Structure 1
Amino acid sequence: MLRTTPKVNKIYLLIRAKDKEAAFHRLKAEIMESELFKCLEEMHGETYKLFIQNKLIPIVGNIYEPNLGMDIITSDKIAQEIDLIVDSAAITTFDERAKLYGWQDTYSFTKAIGEMMINNMRDEIPILIIRPSGITSSYKEPFPGWIQGFRIVDPLVFFYRKGDLPGLLADPNCLVDLVPVDMVVNTTMAAMAKHGNLQNPQLNVYHVASSSINPVSFSQIFDYSYDFFQLFPFVNSKGDKYEVKKMRFFDKISDFENYIWEVLSKQHEVQDGKELTKIQIRLIKKKVEYLKNFSKLYEPYLFYKGWFDNGNVRKLMGDMSEEEKRSFEIDVTKINWKNYIENTHIPGVQKYVLEGKRVN
């Protein structure tokens, strides 16, 4: 926002911290000095820090507390000044089940609860709900490939590159609904621009998704990953090079478990030229058990048959000028998934997530 709409007056950032000094330290470390903001620093040069300090105002608070953890004076002041509120907080753990209520995990369950509460409490306040699918690295802005942390298919792809995941409990034709992070941000900003100034207390929902108009499947993702790691194989800290094979897919947990056990056992035998030791057997069992539990956890998504309609996003594009479309890219049909996965996403994860981390 500060790069594309620099005339914005102020952005108040609610930061969980013990005091103002700690909040500013987080702002400095996680935003001002982050790789993502380098292009903004280049734009402003010596005035960058002053620009950021004038635009980004850290506020000590906590979404779990009444009044968002803010004191009354601060919250009243902010309420008089702001035009828009953007909330992207969520419980992102998947390891708690919510099937009692008809949901496959805590993440989607709490999102649904949040939306229902907002709708019931919003009164005459216009509300935008942005529902992105699986968020991946940036497509173009501010530069291709930026990502923070492992997302969606990344754990699977990077287990695969080390030979730890030669098979997958999944439907190879299952669509993996992915969307780059910059397209999510651009859609949010375009939707805010469209609805923010309207005195219309409606609730509008935007699905920022790709499955209905530019689908990509699990088999395609692992074909592209295979091609990438054939050219750029993973080499661990000892100099060992890992050669990947084509991904195999399974629809039964027992077949998946047996295959993983078989492949990992052979890998150890080949490396040592001996029969497996008790320690190696325990390590393989541990890996197999982890992958089995991991697969069970994500099983609802690995065999998912649905897709998400992004009709409202397409209507939003129709309301944008050509200049706005160039400045705020939201058209997922422009993504060539093979090119994006091989030349943008995997290199981006390696650079911005894994670089500098110790990998065995």
Structure 2
Amino acid sequence: MSAFFNLSSSTSLLASKTIVKLYSNYSKHIASPEKRMLYICRSRNPVIKCSGISPVFQDTIASQGVEMCTRDGIGIVQFLTGKSFLITGGTGFLGKVLIEKILRTAPDVSKIFVLIKAKSKEAAAQRLKNEIIDEEELFKGLRQIHGKSYQAFMLSKLVPVVGNVCVDEDEANFIAKEVDVIINSAANTTFDERYDTALDINTLGPKRTIGFAKKCDKLKLFLQVSTAYVNGQRQGKIMEKPFCFGQSIHTSSLPKLSIEDEIKLVSQSNESQKMKELGKHRANSFGWQDTYVFTKAMGEMMIDSLRGDIPVVIIRPSIIESTYTEPFPGWIEGNKVMDPLILFYGKGHLTGFLGDDDGVLDVVPADMVVNATLAAMAKHGTSAKPGCNIYQVASSVANPLFLKELVQFVYQHFTSSPFIDSKGIPVRVPPLQLHMSKEDFSTYLLRHTKNRTGLGNLSKTDEKLSRKLNIICKKLVEQANYLADVYGPYTFYGGRFDNSNTKRLMECMSEEEIQTFGFDVESINWKDYITNIHIPGLRRHVMKGRGLN
């Protein structure tokens, strides 16, 4: 070891002991001695940072083809400054959080081209104004920073671009000369979407966008926002690995997955009414739980097969929920995976659901996903080396949220802060029950709904009211069973997403960068997040305050 280090006299003893300890702890996980020492370069330990690692060691690391992480960090703000970005999906939940963070932390970016589905440039500009610039709460911090100049600042940075998943030809040539980074965040996230619709947006969309990327003169990086659930029905610890073209989760699947054949199947189908069923059937055949994650996985395959020498980063977040701290805690837009269930429960409509007490729901706050995205973007955009780098931003390995804890936290929130019904009466909820089988859940639903509607107490003579309540009861049960079909694969999900690449990415950051762009999922206090941040955020931003005191 002494051959690699030149320690200053003031820190040599303490640093050398720390180095030996770190070397010992990590050596069993890394193949070669030279690569093992990389952990010391990444350490945020001030003793290690000031120890003075010699150029001899740096040369040794470089000779192994391993990137060094310096005490100066990644240089996230420096990378963002002066750059131009093309963002698809910029009017979506995550896209807005991303745009806000870029403009707040790096106001000297050149331009952000925002791809917007619209019939004309005027319509696109209006959507940009309505959905981003005039969004009062999310961009409140930027309004305070820029004051009366806010509108002018936003219009000087954000450029609406007409397009649906990819840029229209009229504007493509100009943007191709300007853009440094493409962020493909556009997606159809409906789990049971029509197969043709999901395939067009989630699979062919990335194909078109990476095709456009090849025309960009000074492109430094292509970044795809995917989902950790592209891993389908894999079990156990799931590593951060790219998909090979045509790879299936079910390795025994016959015939083998062919994206070209899937596209032909959809284009030649005459049964447009059965597109939802077709998507689910095809997904299940190859080992994915639904159309959404199946088509997203094929989108990743398209990117990896067509990227050529373009540096690619794929961000795989798990279930993205409300912001943890930035720009303020609890901002959310629309219902995400667990949110309809939480709100149905809080209103007294649902007191049980399908799930395993010991199961894990992999959740990650939106601002942590954005911070990891920007860190990965800066790291690989600066080096601009060809390759495909995968980052799973997930909590199930690092800091799991167990379902039995989640239902307890939700119950505690609505017990202390219940919904208020239309008559001004607090809605009192019992503890939420989890059912291990759909049969148990259906039986429970029927009994619960009859009791709730009063159907079980009606006399046989009141047939008209009985029929009416029967119809209501049937609809409520159908709705709950539908939720069970859609969300059951996630509440019983057996995979756990490894995030080693993501953790190493944060180890490359300086202390300043961690303060501004941190994404340490291990730091999340789930009880505080669910009861004091997420559910209050849902009630304020999704429910718009309805049902509050």
Q: TM-score range by the shorter chain?
A: over 0.9
Find the counterpart in structure 1 of residue 156 from structure 2. Answer: 54
| Residue type of the alignment partner of 2:289 | Q
Tell me the alpha carbon deviations over residues 306-325 of structure 1, each in whole angstroms, 9 at most, x when there is no partner: 11011111001110000000
Which residue does the alignment assign to 1:252? 437
Alignment of 1:26-175 (within 5 A): 26-34=127-135, 35-63=137-165, 68-72=166-170, 74-95=171-192, 96=276, 97=280, 98-175=283-360
Give the whole-Å Cα distance in 2 for the aligned partners of 1:182 and 1:55: 21
Q: Secondary structure of 1:307's partner?
A: strand
Give the CA deviation at 1:273: 7.0
Hey, what does 1:279 align to over in structure 2?
Answer: 468
Q: Counterpart of 2:518?
A: 329
CA distance in 1, matches of 2:417, 2:122: 44
Secondary structure of residue in 1 paired with 2:434: strand
AA aligned to 2:104 is R
Instruction: Indicate conservation of the 8 Å contact 1:91/1:110, yes or no.
Output: no
Structure 1 range deviating more: 16-25 or 93-102 = 93-102
d(CA) in 2 for partners of 1:248, 1:356: 26
Q: Which runs of 4+ in 1 moved over 6 A?
A: none
Name the CA distance, whole Å, in 2 between partners of 1:27 and 1:357. 27
What's the offset of the Cα at 1:292? 1.3
Paired letter, 1:85:
I
What count of residue pairs does the alignment treat as equivalent? Answer: 353
Q: Could you report, residue by residue, the CA deviation over 1:222-268 in whole angstroms, capped at 9, with x for unpaired residues?
A: 10010010011111223243211111121222221111221222223
Superimposed CA distance per residue, residues 259-305 of structure 1 (whole angstroms, 9 cap, x where no aligned partner):
122122222339x9755722112211211122112202222112111
Unaligned runs of 5+ in 1: none
- Compare 296-305 and 127-136 and name the one that shifted more: 296-305
Matches of 1:136 and 1:358, distance apart in 2: 21
2:181 & 2:348 partners in 1: Cα distance?
47
Matches within 5 A, 1:306-317: 306-317=495-506
SS in 2 for 1:3: helix
Check conservation: 1:139, 1:181, Cα contact below 8 A. Answer: yes
Distance of 1:235 and 1:277 partners within structure 2: 28
CA distance in 2, matches of 1:357, 1:29: 23
| Corresponding position: 1:354 with 2:543 | yes
1:14 pairs with one of 102, 115, 123: 115
- RMSD in angstroms over aligned alpha carbons? 1.8
Confirm or deny: 8 A CA contact 1:169 1:252 kept in the other structure.
Answer: yes
| 3-state SS, counterpart of residue 60 of structure 1 | strand
Query: Does the CA contact (< 8 Å) of 1:90 and 1:110 recur in 2?
Result: no
Q: Structure 1 pair 356/230, CA: closer, same or farther in 2 (3 Å)?
A: closer
Distance 1:299 1:273, change over 3 A: closer
Q: Distance in 2 between matches of 1:350 and 1:104?
A: 30
Give the AA of the match of 2:152: L
Q: 1:226 touches 1:245 (CA, 8 Å); kept in 2?
A: yes
1:62-113 deviations in Å (ceiling 9; x for gaps) = 12xxxx24124x2111111111000111121212412133211111111111
In the other structure, the counterpart of 1:341 is: 530
3-state secondary structure, aligned to 1:228: helix
The higher-RCO structure (CA 8 Å, 6+ apart) is 1
- Gapped regions of structure 2 (runs ≥ 5): 1-101, 193-275, 460-464
- C-alpha contact (below 8 Å) 1:36/1:142 kept by paired residues: yes
Deviations 1:24-46 (A, max 9, x none): 11011100111211111111001
Aligned AA (1:80): K
SS of the equivalent of 2:181 reads coil
Query: TM-score of the superposition, structure 2-length normalised?
Result: 0.62
Bigger Rg, structure 1 or 2:
2
Query: 1:240 and 1:268 mapped to 2: Cα distance?
Result: 17
2:506/2:518 contact within 8 Å kept: no
Percent identity over the alignment is 47
CA contact (8 A) 1:91 1:106 kept: no
CA offsets per residue over residues 178-209 of structure 1, 9 Å max, x none?
00000000000011111102131010000000
Partners of 2:390 and 2:320 in 1: CA distance: 17
Provide the rounded CA distance (Å) in 2 between the counterparts of 1:227 and 1:357. Answer: 19
